[in-house]
Amino acid sequence: MEHLIITHNVKLFTVGLYIFLFALMGLFKVMQFMKKDVENWLIRTRSFIFIALIFTVGLSTNVLCAILFITLLSYLALKEFFSFMPTRTTDRRVLLWAYCAIPIQFYIIYIHWATLFYLFIPLYVFLLISMRMVMVSNTEGFLKSLATIQYGLMTSVYALGYLALILIIPFKYNPVGGSVGLLLFILLVTVSNDFMQMACGKAFGKHKIIPKVSPNKTWEGFIGGVIGSTLLTILIAPYLTPLTLTQSAFAGFVLAIAGFFGDVTMSAVKRDMGIKDTSSLIPGHGGVLDRFDSLIFTAPLFFHFFAYINTIVITKGG
């Protein structure tokens, strides 16, 4: 069994994260005691502590458990997507095929066959789903249903699969944090970017950036998030990643913009479907797709950025 190497820095950051979350919780408790309406924030922070706990347990043992944990996350996301999307009753078996792609993809990651992972969902499952859909022989709304299923697979399974791919990056490429350090880094940057965009938007927001999709998003929030994320990345990158100063500044800048687009893309999908949240799984946040929508854009980008600067090799097959 391949063990995950948890370095000293990763442990320090995890402890730091919990101290931060509990301090935040305490702050909101005090504000509530002073008769301020922060009930929603309390629920959100509590959920965050739960998410952090689940991630800590899921990612602290060995590679297999960690990949299974991300498999579950991916399954919950895809189930949410198919549940709020209208699906044709004739496509029930096609949906089952789509679900079957999840364990296969994560098995491919588990055996370190990166080249096949890159192609599995975008090419082979893409073709297989089309094939299975033709066998249903229902041409009414064919393309729409096909596109819906493919979109769900690309976002919830392929893009989130990069979280597992980051986990199997060999330790030698990141001696300070290991693969868990890289994963923690991308999670911290993405989530804090969401938070900073919202906080800056609430504090200085005036000019709407994309009102038809997400009326609460402002230019001030976006720019504040980009600056904040770049600074945060410069600050934490030396302890979790091997990135140099220029590289981490660039990563922070790009990830902040990508995170923003991940967020508004899911907003657009939700708006199209006429729903506010993708499910009610996480109290105060909505569903898995509500919470991890930015990761859909940031995780693949960060992986390939890291692979580019390190010219890493993790593939087993050709």
Partner 1 sequence: MFANLVRYLFFLIFVKPFIYLVLGVNVIGAEYLQKISKEPGVIITNHNSHVDILLLMSLFSCGQILKIHPVAAADYFCNTKLKAFIFKTLLGIIPLDRKVKRMHKEDIFKDINESLKRGETIIIFPEGTRGEDNTIKSFKSGIGHIAQMNPDVPVYPMYINGPDRILPKTDFLWVPFICDVYATEPVKYDNTSPKEFAEKLHSIVLNLRDEHKKKEEL
* Binding stretches for partner 1 (CB under 8 A): 76, 79-80, 82-84, 87, 89, 92-93, 95-96, 99, 274-276, 279-281
Shortest gap between Cβ of 132 and partner 1 (angstroms)? 13
User: Is the Cβ–Cβ distance between 252 and 227 less than 8 Å?
Assistant: no
Task: Round to whole Å and give the CA distance between 15 and 143.
Answer: 49
The distance of closest approach from Cβ of residue 79 to partner 1 in the complex, given in angstroms and rounded to an integer, is: 5
Q: Name the residue nearer to partner 1 (CB basis): 84 or 305.
A: 84
Q: Shortest approach of partner 1 to residue 220 CB, angstroms?
A: 28
At position 238, the amino acid (one-letter code) is P
Cβ proximity to partner 1: between 99 and 118 the closer is 99
Tell me whether residue 147 or residue 273 sits nearer to partner 1 (CB atom).
Answer: 273
**Per-residue 3-state assignment (H helix, E strand, C coil) for 114-148:** HHHHHHHHHHHHHHHHHHHHHHHCCCCCHHHHHHH
Residue with tokens 């364990």: 103
Spatial CA neighbour of 247 closest among 230, 260, 264: 230
Residue 85 Cβ, how far from partner 1 at the closest point, in Å?
10
Beta carbons of 240 and 9 less than 8 angstroms apart: yes
38 has which bridge partners? none
d(CA 93, CA 132): 8
User: Shortest gap between Cβ of 102 and partner 1 (angstroms)?
Assistant: 11
CB nearer to partner 1: give 102 or 191: 102
User: What gap in Å lies between CA 177 and CA 240, rounded to an integer?
Assistant: 5
Where would I find the H helices in 85-218? 92-110, 114-119, 126-136, 142-152, 160-167, 178-204
For residue 184 the two structure tokens come to 């923690």
> What is the gyration radius of the CA atoms in the chain, in angstroms?
20
Residue whose CB is less far from partner 1, 84 or 204:
84
Q: How far is the CB of 280 from partner 1 (least distance, A)?
A: 5
Q: Is the dihedral of CA 246, 251, 256, 261 positive or negative?
A: positive
CA distance 81 to 227: 32
CB of 31 to partner 1, least distance (A): 27
Task: State the Cα–Cα distance between residues 263 and 190, nearest whole angstrom.
Answer: 10
Closer residue to partner 1 (CB): 42 or 85: 85
CB of 286 to partner 1, least distance (A): 11
Q: Which is nearer to partner 1, 79 or 217 (CB)?
A: 79
Q: Give the span between the Cα atoms of 33 and 17, in whole angstroms.
A: 24
- Diameter of the chain by CA atoms? 63
Nearer to partner 1, 84 or 195 (CB): 84
